[in-house]
């Protein structure tokens, strides 16, 4: 029996048939994958994971691919979870951890989403994909498309980190640099995809990237012995990782693998692009487009996430919060983490550290709580950004 039961619109709850090519619901909502979880519960146990491969495909029964030969994998997932005692002492947290997604293929968590999206594109024989990206999703799309023999068309802002541009070119993708933001890149894909025969794998515009990213939630539960932490800090651009983890926790509870406890989900944005923070503080259900978006953390420069409603639901349902961080504080924090713990992280992940300091200082979080920061990428992808602090003589 296939793993997937049906697809469901996140806004209107309309159902769609599984194993068909879908983008958004006609109402504009993102589609979420629903599984035969009652059946899965009868045949799959968390103890069986001890014999599974150390990658995200260990969670096969709750992933959407039907045939194992369709899987396009580069060894993604099961990233390490580091206890950061020196950083914890510096910020005032006694039980602080960093989950380092920068150790994924292509150096970011985007590998998780692209392994499932490209595998699902491969099953029905899709031959061309297109994606707008702030950088790391482009690298992952190019890599997994190359591994699958699929033609990749990448659209990125002109000022994308050099590492992403070079990586995509080396991987054989068709790269177009756009004078604008990721939203401008997305418009080009939308306007041209039908004429060009591209399948759009933009964030949340197909149902399967979220399925790969949700495995971050399965992993943190497994790595902590099926006891979720008290708080999770997540750098939020498109926010699919946060949405995916929230989905994972519900699936895990249905499977009987965890209880009802949930971490406070804390969405971290840049001061120069904080649509989710503004929506959260206003009590809005949707985010407004952030004009003049600007930040050194390329992955946080998303003026209006498509999954805004889902992000806000996860943050509010968990009694979490949303915070914005200044770029200078972000870079300082990245250097601090590197010097204290030997981890050179992306600015997106580093932004969580000043946010953590503020929430400990104002009492939102207690020093004794178990806190996990998700670093979404490698600092090596951002040498120009960090390099401004370390000019050569």
What integer best gives the mean pLDDT of the chain? 96
CB neighbours (10 Å) of residue 244? Answer: 27
At 392, the pLDDT band (50, 70, 90 cuts) reads confident
Q: What is the mean pLDDT of residues 42-64?
A: 96
Dist CA 139 CA 115 (whole Å): 12
Instruction: Say if residue 145's pLDDT is above 80.
Output: yes
pTM value is: 0.96
Give the 3-state secondary structure of residue 33.
Answer: strand
Express each pLDDT in 359-371 by its tens digit. 999 999 999 999 9
Instruction: Say if residue 393's pLDDT is above 80.
Output: no
Q: What is the mean pLDDT of residues 109-126?
A: 96
Instruction: Say if residue 43's pLDDT is above 90.
Output: yes
Give the 3-state secondary structure of residue 179.
Answer: coil
Q: DSSP letters of 211-239?
A: HHHTHHHHHHHHHTTS---SEEEEE-SS-
Q: What is the mean pLDDT of residues 26-34?
A: 96
For the chain, the residue count is: 393
Which domains are assigned to the chain? 81-107+209-387 (3.40.50.1100)
At 20, the pLDDT band (50, 70, 90 cuts) reads confident
Q: What is the mean pLDDT of residues 88-108?
A: 98
Q: What is the mean pLDDT of residues 209-220?
A: 98
Beta strands in the chain (DSSP E): 4-9, 15-16, 31-35, 81-83, 95-100, 128-132, 151-157, 174-178, 199-200, 231-235, 264-270, 321-325, 370-375
Instruction: Say if residue 89's pLDDT is above 80.
Output: yes
At 203, the pLDDT band (50, 70, 90 cuts) reads confident
At 294, the pLDDT band (50, 70, 90 cuts) reads very high
Q: Write the CB contacts of 178 (distance below 8 Å, at least 6 apart in sequence).
A: 155, 156, 157, 158, 184, 185, 188
Q: What is the mean pLDDT of residues 95-99?
A: 98
């Amino acid at each position: 029996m296939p793993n997937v039961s049906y697809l469901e619109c996140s806004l209107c709850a309309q159902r769609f048939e599984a194993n068909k090519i879908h983008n958004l619901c006609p109402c504009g909502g993102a589609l979420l994958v629903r599984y035969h979880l009652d059946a899965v519960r009868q045949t799959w146990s968390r103890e069986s994971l001890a014999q599974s491969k150390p990658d995200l495909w260990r969670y096969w029964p709750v992933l959407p691919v039907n045939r194992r030969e369709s899987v396009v994998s580069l060894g993604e997932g099961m990233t390490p979870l580091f206890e950061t005692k020196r950083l914890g002492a510096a910020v005032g947290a006694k039980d602080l951890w960093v989950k380092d997604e920068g150790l994924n293929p292509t150096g970011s968590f985007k590998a998780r989403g692209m392994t499932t999206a490209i595998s699902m594109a491969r099953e029905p024989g899709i031959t061309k994909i297109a994606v707008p990206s702030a950088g790391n999703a482009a690298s992952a799309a190019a890599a997994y498309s190359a591994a699958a023999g699929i033609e990749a068309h990448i659209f990125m802002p002109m000022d994308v980190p050099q590492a992403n541009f070079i990586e995509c070119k080396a991987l054989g993708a068709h790269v177009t640099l756009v004078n604008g933001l990721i939203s401008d890149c997305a418009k080009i894909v939308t306007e041209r995809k039908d004429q060009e025969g591209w399948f759009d794998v933009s964030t949340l515009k197909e149902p399967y990237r979220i399925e790969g990213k949700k495995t971050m939630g399965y992993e943190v539960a497994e790595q902590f012995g099926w006891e979720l932490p008290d708080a999770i800090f997540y750098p939020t651009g498109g926010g699919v990782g946060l949405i995916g983890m929230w989905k994972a926790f519900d699936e895990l509870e249905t499977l009987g693998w965890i209880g009802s406890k949930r971490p406070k989900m804390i969405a971290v944005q840049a001061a120069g692009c904080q649509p989710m923070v503004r929506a959260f503080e206003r009590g809005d259900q949707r985010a407004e487009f952030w004009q003049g978006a600007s930040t050194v953390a390329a992955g946080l420069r998303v003026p209006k996430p498509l999954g805004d409603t889902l992000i806000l639901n996860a943050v509010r349902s968990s009694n979490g919060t949303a915070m914005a961080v200044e770029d200078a504080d972000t870079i300082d924090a990245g250097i601090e983490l590197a010097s204290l713990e030997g981890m050179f992280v992306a600015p997106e992940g580093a932004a969580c550290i000043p946010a953590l300091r503020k929430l400990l200082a104002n009492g939102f979080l207690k020093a004794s709580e178990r806190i996990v920061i998700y670093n979404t990428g490698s600092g090596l992808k951002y040498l120009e950004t960090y390099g401004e602090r370390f000019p050569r003589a």
